[in-house]
Amino acid sequence: MKAVVYDRYGPPEVLHIGEVPTPVPKDHEILVRVRSAEVTKGDCEMRSFRFAVKWFWLPLRIFMGIRRPRKPILGGYFSGEIETVGAAVTRFKPGDAVFGCAGMRLGAYGEYLCLPDDYTIVPKPGKLSFAEAAAVPLGGLNALHFMRRARLQPGESVLINGAGGSIGTFAVQIAKSMGATVTVVDHTIKADLLRNLGADHFIDYTREDFTAGGQTYDVIFNMVARNNYARSIACLNPNGRYLTANPKLSDMIRSVLTSRFTDKTAIFAFAGETKEELLSLNTMIEAGEVRSVVDRIYARAQAAAAHHRVESEQRLGAIILAE
């Protein structure tokens, strides 16, 4: 089969189309014909091995490959159709349209993807195209995880810092579905997109520091690695909750102290990306409560251009590789 592969760490140009063996599913595995895969910031970081958060660099380097990538095919989030199933698989049958997560097995940049049948893979929402469906799992699962952990109540105020990315665009919609008043922080080019998704207030970080305006919130959800932790905590109302999806090690330690010794709660727990959560998103999508946003669709042969687009921070939605 054809796949986007890379054999050394570096710029987007290390990505190229290669021929690799088509995987064969074992008894409890499924073979998916990948129709679309999201190109994520995580893919770009693994390709270059440059991470905004540094604390996991060494263990990840050992896992991914010290001198060169052990896993030459990137891609953790996908949509497609079941091609074949292993002898013991009962959840799926050939022809089923599905979407989900490949986890650290990766491989969604290939024509075919082989995964255990108990992974977070569920039927694709009927109202979404394959490209739109591939844009759901990363952002949707993380946003749902954190908005549930925030225990948002109707009428509460939430600020989402870095709202224009894959996670933030879903967090805006989920927070609104929970009845919250939503303030978002991002670059001015994303203002219209975020307002169209339901944001009540927009702050352009190039012109204004949200921690300096005197406004306070019941919940702050942060996706920006360089965000100032102390100033953000100061922007919380009494019993406020601070959640971060991209924590520095120092912020993880401070989160424990904040939760233990103040009336505020700081949460950095990583999303489990469960089947139950993806099925919940499926229900919300079918009900029209949330939708995916696709910026551009690239052919697999254009993977380098897709990575450049993600790294430019100019995208207005998800970047998708499609067959």
Q: What is the CATH number of the domain that holds 223?
A: 3.40.50.720
> With 70 as the cut, is the pLDDT of residue 53 above it?
no
Residue range 14-47, pLDDT digits in tens: 999 999 999 999 999 999 999 999 999 999 999 9
Q: N- to C-terminal Cα distance for the chain?
A: 12
- 279 in a domain, yes or no? no
Residue range 281-301, pLDDT digits in tens: 999 999 999 999 999 999 999
> With 70 as the cut, is the pLDDT of residue 250 above it?
yes
Please say which residue of 250, 267, 284 terminates a domain. Answer: 267
Say which residue, 111 or 246, is predicted with more confidence. 111
Residue range 233-242, pLDDT digits in tens: 999 999 999 9
The predicted pLDDT at position 247 comes to 77
pTM (2 d.p.): 0.92
The whole-angstrom distance between residue 20's C-alpha and the CA centroid of its chain comes to 27
The domain that holds 38 is classified in CATH as: 3.90.180.10
DSSP string computed for 106-123: --TTBSEEEEETTSSEEE
Which residue range(s) make up the domain with 18? 2-136+292-322
pLDDT-derived band at 86 (thresholds 50, 70, 90) equals very high
- 224 in a domain, yes or no? yes
DSSP string computed for 176-227: HHTT-EEEEEE-GGGHHHHHHTT-SEEEETTT--GGGS---EEEEEE--TT-
Return d(Cα 238, Cα 181) in angstroms, integer: 17
Number of structural domains the chain divides into: 2
H-helix or E-strand containing 29?
A: strand 29-39
Residue 167 identity = I
